[in-house]
């Protein structure tokens, strides 16, 4: 077992994620790289916003984290494994609670946008150097965030509602 696979398996992951990561060291390595980078850039992004506490969970930084994570996963391990891992991370069955369902729907949407961007990047390998991959995918996801392609949760409404990521005054 590789060091990065051991590291991945020691993280706070569910049984479905654990099974996928345990079965394939290369996928575990890609997951480790993608999840670490996504957390780092989304936390840095959150510190630049006016709504730090709201942004990290169910807000813009959360949307950005899921997009970057999925984009890098698609680049590192391919679209199929990226979908398996990101879907495994979410609940298998939609939660009964409306707000929890909206949270899950937000994550699934932003993961799908990220995977699409990661697949696009893979088609552009001759244009973009490998060393620029993470930075380039962050830029694509940040553009998706700013243009409203990602989704965030408007918690000022009851029940909560998904809105485009470029919506203003989302609480």
What does the pLDDT look like over 9-21, one tens digit per residue?
888 888 999 999 9
Mean pLDDT of 60-84: 94
pLDDT at 121 > cutoff 80: no
- What is the pLDDT at residue 145? 94
pLDDT at 136 > cutoff 90: no
For residue 154, give the nearest of 144, 145, 163, 166 by alpha carbon: 163
Mean pLDDT of 14-43: 91
- What is the pLDDT at residue 1? 82
Strand residue runs (E) in 13-171? 151-154, 161-164
Q: How many Cβ atoms sit within 10 Å of the Cβ of residue 79?
A: 16
For residue 47, give the nearest of 25, 26, 64, 32 by alpha carbon: 64
Q: Confidence band (pLDDT; 50, 70, 90) for 83? A: very high
Q: Confidence band (pLDDT; 50, 70, 90) for 165? A: very high
Write down the domain spans for the chain.
3-164
pLDDT at 46 > cutoff 70: yes
DSSP annotation string for 44-78: HHHHTSS-HHHHHTTSHHHHHHHHHHHHHHHHHH-
| Distance separating alpha carbons of residues 53 and 36, to the nearest angstrom | 20
Instruction: Of 44-53, 121-130, 149-158, give the lowest mean pLDDT range.
Output: 121-130
Of 156 and 123, the structure prediction assigns the larger pLDDT to 156
pTM for the model stands at 0.87
pLDDT at 104 > cutoff 80: yes
- What is the pLDDT at residue 170? 66
């Amino acid at each position: 077992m590789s060091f990065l696979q051991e590291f991945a398996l020691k993280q706070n992951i569910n049984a479905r994620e654990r099974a996928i990561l345990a079965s394939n060291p290369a996928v575990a390595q890609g997951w480790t790289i993608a999840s670490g980078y996504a957390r780092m850039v989304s936390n840095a992004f959150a510190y630049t916003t006016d709504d730090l506490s709201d942004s990290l969970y169910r807000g813009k930084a959360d949307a950005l984290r899921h997009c970057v994570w999925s984009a890098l996963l698609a680049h590192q391990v391919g679209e199929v494994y990226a979908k398996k891992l990101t879907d495994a991370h979410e609940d298998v069955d939609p939660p009964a609670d409306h707000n929890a369902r909206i949270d899950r729907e937000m994550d699934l949407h932003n993961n799908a946008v990220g995977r699409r961007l990661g697949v696009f990047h893979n088609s552009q390998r001759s244009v973009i150097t490998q060393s620029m991959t993470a930075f380039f995918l962050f830029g694509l996801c940040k553009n998706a965030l700013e243009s409203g392609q990602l989704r965030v949760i408007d918690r000022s409404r009851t029940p909560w509602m998904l809105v485009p990521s470029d919506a203003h005054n989302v609480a």
